[in-house]
């Protein structure tokens, strides 16, 4: 049996984009309506040669947990800073809800940001950190104190409210940074890689907590990360960016299992990609040999050639030689044991590929073993080069 795909494991969450506004409750229990975000033709250049954004058109639905995903320098942080008002677009239009905020100052937008560094005041107490933004907005003391108490209880930090920030752990500081952004009750919350400094175990725990908060509030969250797994776990939809342009937008499962081009395929996870040298109906020829696709599989719409994508976890690795549709003869050249699963490099004819096998208590193939690789037609995808 093949290992369950990464996307399938993560797509148990909400895969459908929201239709219109979505309601939730704030920390006081009052109903609120989330805001959609519309970006039209956003361009941003730094200096004469650096293009950060190159005509970004994007709609983020009200109440979505939306992720901007891509490598360093792809434009995701610049886009987040334009949403926050910390950078001005050279060209284009930005609306939040029904309001055009293209030229609106940051402090006049109903947007708050949780930064990677948290940007907390270490010499102040949790209470004073939470109250700071409200004080700057002129909220009176009684209302300020009431809202601080409510948000502290909402994210289960009431027992820490009088501690200094420098007395807290990294996970507790992350929660305080989130609470400080939420206490001002913005229409949109922006999150700039807020979990990146945490260890793996705490990071996984806080991913779940962050999702619970967003689901309860029904607020629009825009999350920036370069971590594909984190994006797939947390997002309603993902926008994959590269070179200042959006390569693909969609639910996590769609982006992982049906990438539109080779960049998205490679960036979203391990990808075996092979040029298609010939195609006749549902049969394609590659350096692996002849393989059969699922009926009516769409041909890529983008130009630049056509590639066949095989995700490593979709391959069934069987000891010995077997015959059948999409059966490939191979030999194990490398094995990496990773606890819950093992990764294999295999030689198939004159080329190589990677396979992943879930360790379900069975004997794993050894280096040098002759095996048969089997892939179902529905797991084969064609992408633009």
Could you read off the pLDDT of 289-303 as tens digits, one per residue? Answer: 999 998 866 655 444
Task: Please give the helix or strand (H or E) that residue 95 lies within, else none.
Answer: strand 91-96
Q: Lowest-confidence range among 58-72, 189-203, 347-361?
A: 189-203
> What mean pLDDT comes out for the span 68-92?
95
- Provide the pLDDT for residue 364: 84
Residue 251 near residue 257, CB atoms below 8 Å:
no
Q: Is residue 15 classed exposed, middle or buried when 0-12, 13-18 and 19+ CB atoms within 10 A define those classes?
A: middle
- From residue 42, alpha-carbon distances to 75, 107, 113, 358 in Å are 11, 21, 20, 44
Domain end among 237, 257, 277: 257
**CA–CA dist 200, 359 (Å, integer):** 21
Cα 264-265-267 angle, rounded to 5 deg: 60
Q: Residue 250 belongs to a domain with what CATH number? A: 3.40.50.300
- Residue scoring higher pLDDT (175 or 187): 187
Q: Which of 33-37, 66-70, 92-96 has the lowest mean pLDDT?
A: 33-37
DSSP code string of 210-279: HHHHHHHHT-EEEEEES-HHHHHHH-SEEEEEETTEEEEEE-HHHHHHS-SBHHHHHHTS--EEEE--EE
pLDDT at 304: 47
pLDDT of residue 32: 57
pLDDT: which is higher, 91 or 161: 91
Answer yes or no: do 325 and 180 share one domain. Answer: no
Cα–Cα dist 251/297, whole Å: 19
Question: What are the pLDDT digits (tens) for 325-359?
Answer: 999 999 999 999 888 889 999 999 999 999 999 88
If asked whether residues 122 and 143 sit together in one domain, one would say: yes
Most distant CA pair in the chain, distance: 77
User: What was the pLDDT predicted at 36?
Assistant: 95
Average pLDDT for 80-90: 95
Q: 36 and 59 in contact (C-beta within 8 Å)?
A: yes
Does 225 share its domain with 160?
yes
Q: Are residues 356 and 319 in the same domain?
A: yes
pLDDT for residue 6: 38
Model pLDDT, residue 121: 84
Shared-domain flag, residues 286 and 225: no
Give the bridge partners for 280, in sequence order. Answer: 283
Count the neighbouring beta carbons within 10 Å of the beta carbon of residue 45.
Answer: 15
Domain that includes residue 251, residue range: 6-257
Both structure tokens of 354: 């990677």
C-alpha closest to that of 8 among 251, 249, 327: 251
**Which stretch of 3-12, 156-165, 175-184, 209-218 has the lowest confidence by average pLDDT?**
3-12
**What does the angle CA 79 – CA 216 – CA 182 come to, to the nearest 5 degrees?**
50
Can you give the pTM of this predicted structure? 0.84
Laid out side by side, the sheet with 272-275 consists of 272-275, 306-310, 381-384
Residue environment code for 208-236, b if the CB has 16+ CB neighbours within 10 A, otherwise e: eebbebbeebbbbbbbbbbbbebbbbbbb
Q: How far is CA 109 from CA 81, 94, 189, 288, in A?
A: 12, 12, 11, 55
- Read off the pLDDT of each residue in 51-60 and give the average, rounded to a whole number: 96
**Helix, strand, coil share of the chain (percent; to 5):** 25, 35, 40
Point out the domain boundary residue: 216, 234, 257: 257
Does 227 fall in a domain?
A: yes
Specify the number of domains making up the chain. Answer: 2
70-74, 218-222, 302-306, 328-332: least confident range: 302-306
Task: Encode pLDDT of 303-334 as tens digits.
Answer: 446 999 999 999 999 999 999 999 999 999 99
Q: Quick one: pLDDT at residue 24?
A: 54
Based on the fold, state whether residues 288 and 234 are members of the same structural domain.
no
- 1 has pLDDT over 60: no
CATH number of the domain that residue 334 is part of:
2.40.50.140
- pLDDT average, residue stretch 111-138: 85
């Amino acid at each position: 049996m093949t290992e369950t795909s990464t996307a399938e494991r993560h797509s148990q969450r909400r895969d459908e984009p929201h239709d219109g506004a979505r309601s939730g409750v704030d920390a006081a229990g009052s109903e609120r309506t989330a805001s959609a975000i519309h970006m039209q033709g956003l361009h941003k250049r730094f200096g004469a040669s650096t293009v950060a954004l190159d005509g970004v058109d994007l709609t983020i639905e009200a109440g979505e947990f939306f992720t901007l995903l891509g490598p360093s320098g792809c434009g995701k942080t610049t886009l987040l800073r334009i949403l926050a008002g910390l950078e001005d677009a050279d060209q284009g239009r930005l609306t939040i809800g029904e309001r055009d905020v293209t030229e609106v100052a940051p402090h006049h937008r109903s947007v708050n940001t949780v930064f990677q560094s948290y940007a907390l005041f270490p010499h102040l107490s949790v209470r004073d950190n939470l109250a700071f933004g409200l004080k700057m907005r002129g909220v009176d003391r009684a209302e300020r104190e009431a809202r601080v108490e409510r948000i502290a209880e909402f994210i289960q930090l009431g027992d820490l409210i009088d501690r200094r920030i420098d007395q807290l752990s990294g996970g507790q500081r992350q929660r305080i940074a989130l609470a400080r952004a939420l206490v001002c009750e913005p229409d949109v919350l922006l999150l700039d890689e807020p979990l990146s400094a945490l260890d793996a175990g705490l990071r996984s725990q806080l991913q779940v907590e962050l999702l619970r908060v967003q689901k309860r509030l029904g607020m629009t969250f825009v999350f920036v990360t370069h971590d594909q797994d984190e994006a797939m776990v947390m997002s309603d939809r993902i926008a994959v960016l590269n070179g200042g342009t959006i390569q693909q937008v969609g639910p996590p499962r769609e982006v992982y299992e049906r990438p539109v081009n080779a960049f998205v395929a490679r960036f979203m996870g391990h990808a075996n990609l092979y040029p298609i040298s010939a195609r006749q109906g549902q049969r394609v020829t590659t350096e692996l040999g002849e393989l059969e696709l699922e009926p009516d599989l769409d041909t890529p719409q983008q130009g630049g050639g056509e590639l066949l994508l095989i995700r490593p976890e979709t391959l069934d690795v069987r000891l010995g030689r077997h015959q059948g549709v999409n059966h490939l003869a191979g030999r194990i050249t490398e094995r990496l044991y990773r606890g819950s699963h093992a990764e294999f490099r295999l030689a198939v004819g004159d080329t190589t590929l990677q396979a992943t096998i879930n360790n379900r208590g069975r004997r794993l193939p050894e280096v040098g073993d002759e095996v048969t690789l089997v892939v179902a037609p529905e797991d084969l995808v064609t992408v633009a080069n």
